[in-house]
Structure 1
Amino acid sequence: MESTHLGWRTLLRRQWPLACALLFFLGGEVLGEAGWWQLPGSVVVCALAVLAPRRPFDAALAAATAVAANSVVLRVLDVAPVVPAISGLVVSETAAVMAITAVVVRQAPLPRAAVAVVVLIAVAAGSQAVRPDYWSRYWPDDYSGPGPWQQVVGGAVLLALSLGTGLYFRARDRERATAVRAEVAAAQHAERMALARELHDVIAHYVTGMVVHAQAAQAVPSAAGEALPIIVRSGNEALTEMRRLVGTLRGTDADAPTASSDLADDVRGVVERSGQPVRLHVDLPVSVPPSLGRSVLRLVQESLTNARKHAEAVSAVDVSVSVSDGVVHVLVADDGRPRKAAPVGGSGGYGLVGMRERVELLGGRFSAGARAGGGWEVRAALPVTG
């Protein structure tokens, strides 16, 4: 039958203690009087107990059938089983039925579990009436065996142990599944936030540049010749970044470099492509890991995009990237004034949020706000960890 729960290797790793215990019980029963006649049925029930996690409900019904058939065989042959543990079941059968009960309560839907447990209880109780009595046959004068109340109390105790074990593990499985779902949801949320930051910091940067230059070409037709190549270059770079993001999502571009080994050149490239009056200062006496360099580039890129979108009459933008005492310091400051009209493409309010999240994820510090002499500045300090 096709497995719905465990693979064979996993099943064997999980069930070997039970298998060893049942083999021990079977070995003890074989040494007893008339043990060989009950052995086939006991072996079948024990095997079903080991395999029960694969199909608990089917295993329970098959075990009940095996116990009933074993009882009929013993009655027909008029052979009393080895010393029963409870009712008419011997020790190995009792242990196997308890294990199956615990598994079916743990894994099966509650209605099916209830049906399986009732069937097992009925068959176990019926075996007492069907099978020849061991005590009256082998202990006629000395001992008459446990009385009815002892049988009931003993069976109730074993049933409670089985049900309690199954319910306990059922609750544990439910808690574990809830924790796994929460972890998956958190991971998905983190991935969505990371993708949102990438889309906002990278794609929006290029698209904003394209819109600004297109507006400039509309306002000054003579500047179209200069604006169109910039728009084309920005569009190609946006497509390249989009392909990189899609490749990362597909898992085919996970190891692709996102920043070169020379962070200074990368920053200069971002500044040149921005088309803004930037005064650049780069002081990198030590190498910066590519993963950290990527975040530095995104901070500079997004800060320049914000300056273009939200400020007007900007005469200079100061961009500084330096390393001191194992910390990368990033400063982007402009001298413009806030735009009265809505910025190009609107403002979703995610730029500063994304930058702050990016910096905090790397264990750094972030601040942004208006400058005392006018304008806006963004500061970040990122520890160099490798």
Structure 2
Amino acid sequence: MESTELNWRLLAKRQWPLAVSLTAIALLETGSISTGLGWWQVPGVAVVCVIAVLAPRRPFDAALALAFAVACVAVYMRLLGVSIEPHLFWSGAGISMTGAAMATIATLVRDATRVKAVAGTLVVLAAMAFAEVLGWPIVAAREYREWSPDTWNFLIAAVVLLVLSVGTGMYFRARDDERASQLAASVAAAQNAERMALARELHDVVAHYVTAIVVHAQAGQLNREVDVLPSIASSGTEALTAMRRLVGTMRDGSSEGPAASSSLMDDVRALAAESGLPVRLSFDLQDAVPQELARSVLRLVQESLTNTQKHASAVSSVDVSLSSGDGVLHLAVLDDGVASGVPVGGSGGYGLVGMRERAELLGGTFSAGRREPTGWTVRADLPIS
């Protein structure tokens, strides 16, 4: 599961603990520098820490960049004769860079493909080992003349830190996989529920038209009139049109939606009044809207208003507009509230998923997203014929 181009908002939410931790460690480490030349390490440490924080956007690229940065820091410190003072098992890399490397490895294991995770981890380990070994002679030559590196201690420490990094990444990867499975199951359930709602509407619409056909046929049989044939043909055509619009959607599940009357505008007004929201309505319907399509429009309006109630605060206005032209019905629901979360859930489960499923099954298009500076927008374009 390769994670690339992670949203900045999600990145900040996910990475702020790491950013705070690395910043604190780097500040403490910088404060312990006893030589003037030691300050040359600060820019390199800052670059390495920033790469670790941004790693979820492009994990493998971040691993390569971090390895290159660590190697460059080690080389220029060696050329300047500057040492990172030894702490526990670290000498040539430093605690903050070691922490950044651990975080990057954990991100690789969590987000990258297995091949890239292994390759990236090996590259980071090689760079860290290079920095450590390159820093040993300088550390021993300066204030720490009695200091002597213990290879076994470094190897043991490296293995322990590697296990911690990989284990952390595997834990979060398993958790992400579980959440993805739950989300997929919820989306499938929402789609099935929406299809079942359409199937129930298909039953109601076809039953209505077939009943009309039967009544006209019986009347014609009793009165021997020929004039009923156009009515029968018209009802049959309307029934076939409704079936073509809704057929193929029958699935197991259940969903409740608003009932449609003979006036779509009155039904929308009723929904707006029931919501308790400050709704402003706008109608410009140039074409007659079939009842089966009106039901779907009402469902979309209902879900949109429900999402506004559940997921927005400080709402001062909700604009609901219905218009038609060139055989297409246009619906727009816009609010100016402050979102408390992405309004995925709705009255029937995953509301946005259900609305998109309904619009696409009817041959239309659907879109939803945030407004600037605040608010949420829902738009649907549905074919009338």
The TM-score bracket by the shorter chain reads 0.5 to 0.7
By how many angstroms is 1:48 displaced?
0.2
Q: Which residue of 2 aligns with 1:18?
A: 18
Q: Pick from 219, 222, 225: which aligns with 2:224?
A: 222
Task: Tell me, yes or no, if the aligned pair for 2:59 and 2:111 is still in contact at 8 Å.
Answer: yes
Q: Which residue of 2 aligns with 1:182?
A: 185
Q: Which residue of 1 aligns with 2:112?
A: 108
Judged with a 3 Å threshold, the aligned counterparts in structure 2 of structure 1 residues 76 and 23 are, in CA distance, closer, same or farther, namely same
Write the distance in 1 (CA, Å) between the matches of 2:97 and 2:73.
10
Task: Tell me, yes or no, if the aligned pair for 1:102 and 1:162 is still in contact at 8 Å.
Answer: yes
By how many angstroms is 1:113 displaced?
0.7
Write the distance in 2 (CA, Å) between the matches of 1:216 and 1:193.
33
- Counterparts of 1:175-324 in structure 2, within 5 Å, are 175-200=178-203, 202-213=204-215, 216=218, 222-226=224-228, 228-229=230-231, 232=234, 234=235, 238=239, 258-259=260-261
Task: Tell me, yes or no, if the aligned pair for 1:6 and 1:54 is still in contact at 8 Å.
Answer: yes
Write the distance in 1 (CA, Å) between the matches of 2:55 and 2:239.
56
Q: Which residue of 2 aligns with 1:118?
A: 122
Amino acid at match of 1:33: S
Amino acid at match of 2:144: W
- Tell me whether 1:139 sits opposite 2:140 in the alignment: no
Amino acid at match of 1:23: T
Aligned-partner SS, 1:223: coil
By how many angstroms is 1:168 displaced?
0.6
Amino acid at match of 1:159: L
By relative contact order (CA 8 Å, sep 6+), the higher-ranking structure is: 2
By how many angstroms is 1:129 displaced?
2.2
Q: Which residue of 2 aligns with 1:33?
A: 34
Task: Tell me, yes or no, if the aligned pair for 1:37 and 1:74 is still in contact at 8 Å.
Answer: yes
- Tell me whether 1:80 sits opposite 2:83 in the alignment: yes
By how many angstroms is 1:206 displaced?
3.0
Q: Any idea what the Cα deviations from partners look like across 1:120-159, whole Å, max 9, x if unmatched?
A: 1111112222224424532223xx2551111111111111
Write the distance in 2 (CA, Å) between the matches of 1:135 and 1:20.
32
Write the distance in 2 (CA, Å) between the matches of 1:97 and 1:17.
15
Q: TM-score, normalised by structure 2?
A: 0.58
Amino acid at match of 2:143: Y
User: Number of aligned pairs?
Assistant: 252
Write the distance in 2 (CA, Å) between the matches of 1:135 and 1:25.
24
For structure 2, the residue ranges without an aligned partner over 5 or more in a row are 248-255, 264-273, 275-347, 349-385
By how many angstroms is 1:259 displaced?
4.4
Q: Which residue of 2 aligns with 1:97?
A: 101
Q: TM-score, normalised by structure 1?
A: 0.57
For structure 1, the residue ranges without an aligned partner over 5 or more in a row are 247-253, 262-289, 291-360, 362-386
Task: Tell me, yes or no, if the aligned pair for 1:203 and 1:241 is still in contact at 8 Å.
Answer: yes
Task: Tell me, yes or no, if the aligned pair for 1:101 and 1:162 is still in contact at 8 Å.
Answer: yes
State the identity %: 46
Task: Tell me, yes or no, if the aligned pair for 1:81 and 1:90 is still in contact at 8 Å.
Answer: yes
Write the distance in 1 (CA, Å) between the matches of 2:222 and 2:71.
96
By how many angstroms is 1:224 displaced?
2.9
Amino acid at match of 2:211: G
Write the distance in 2 (CA, Å) between the matches of 1:42 and 1:242.
66
Q: Any idea what the Cα deviations from partners look like across 1:226-282, whole Å, max 9, x if unmatched?
A: 4644664x4687589779979xxxxxxx99862489xxxxxxxxxxxxxxxxxxxxx
Task: Tell me, yes or no, if the aligned pair for 1:74 and 1:80 is still in contact at 8 Å.
Answer: yes
Aligned-partner SS, 1:95: helix
By how many angstroms is 1:20 displaced?
1.4
Write the distance in 2 (CA, Å) between the matches of 1:213 and 1:224.
14
Task: Tell me, yes or no, if the aligned pair for 2:220 and 2:228 is still in contact at 8 Å.
Answer: no
Q: Which residue of 1 aligns with 2:132?
A: 128
By how many angstroms is 1:83 displaced?
2.5
